[in-house]
Chains A and B, each alone.
Chain A
Amino acid sequence: AQTVTQSQPEMSVQEAETVTLSCTYDTSESDYYLFWYKQPPSRQMILVIRQEAYKQQNATENRFSVNFQKAAKSFSLKISDSQLGDAAMYFCAYRNSDVGTSYGKLTFGQGTILTVHP
């Protein structure tokens, strides 16, 4: 079974600074997807960024980028120019690419609470 581990229960950053959230995972699959979701106090789970394991290039979405290290099974999220609206719980998630067996089921980490200080 796949597992996802987020070892940082809480992180904080000053507005306009950069912060990196860590995630490691365990899988025997060679092809899969990794995601970062943001969950603000409103509870809505919002997709921040995703990475296909077969792609060597790290995904980037505006101020959000990932450092995907497949051999190390590491998938960190970097938030640049942090804004007050970035404050939320962040979850790392894994999904097999073989939809015939996984049907797209997501496996989540425990989450990291990000606080942004003005």
Chain B
Amino acid sequence: DAGVTQSPTHLIKTRGQQVTLRCSPKSGHDTVSWYQQALGQGPQFIFQYYEEEERQRGNFPDRFSGHQFPNYSSELNVNALLLGDSALYLCASSLGAWFQFFGPGTRLTVL
């Protein structure tokens, strides 16, 4: 049983570019949450997707958007990248609002 998977592992972009990160949830899970973890900090909640809709959102600008597909996989899109967007992006999946399992993360570096 595969756990939560994320791609790519690492990504380097320049300011102003756009990026898409991908997440496949654990088998049987229907909910995907995204978190941003700056270096040396705890993860911060970005948003959560359930039934292909954004169900809850943290304190992040509209440059951060997402999508959930019918197979429950999800994408996180960030537009107009800033240096401050450099972070580890974690995806977590769950069955509804039940306990979350995390993926290994995508390390985004913005130059």
Question: Are B96's CB and A104's CB within 8 A?
Answer: yes
Which residues in window 1-56 of A have CB below 8 A to B? 4, 6, 37, 42-47, 50
Docked-complex contact B42 and A110, CB < 8 angstroms = yes
Report Cα–Cα, A93/B44, bound state, in Å.
11
Give the Cβ gap from A81 to chain B, nearest Cβ, in Å.
26
> CB < 8 Å: which of A43, A99, A108 contacts B105?
A43
Given A102-B97, A103-B97, A104-B31: A111 in contact with B105 (beta carbons within 8 A): no
Contact in complex: A105, B56 (CB < 8 Å): yes
With known contacts A42-B104, A43-B105, A99-B97, A104–B33 Cβ distance under 8 A:
yes
A59 on interface, CB distance cutoff 8 Å:
no
Interface size bracket, A side: 20 to 34
State A110–B107 Cα separation when bound (angstroms): 18
Which single member of B40, B48, B58, B102 contacts A111 (CB below 8 Å)? B40
Interface size, chain B (Cβ < 8 Å)? 29
List B contacts of A47 (CB < 8 A): 99, 101
Residue of A43, A93, A99, A108 ringed by the most chain B CB atoms within 10 A: A43
Interfacial chain A residues near B42, Cβ < 8 Å = 4, 6, 91, 93, 108-111
Question: Which single residue of chain B is at the shortest CB-CB distance from A109?
Answer: B42
What is the CA–CA distance of A91 and B58 in the complex, to the nearest angstrom? Answer: 19
**Per-residue interface assignment for chain A, residues 86 to 111, with 1 indicating a CB less than 8 Å from any chain B CB and 0 otherwise:** 00000101000001001111111111
* A positions within 8 Å CB-CB of B: 4, 6, 37, 42-47, 50, 91, 93, 99, 102-111
| 22 cross-chain CB contacts under 8 A | A4-B42, A43-B104, A46-B102, A47-B99, A47-B101, A102-B97, A103-B50, A103-B97, A104-B48, A104-B97, A104-B98, A105-B48, A105-B56, A105-B58, A106-B92, A106-B100, A108-B42, A108-B43, A108-B44, A110-B42, A111-B40, A111-B42
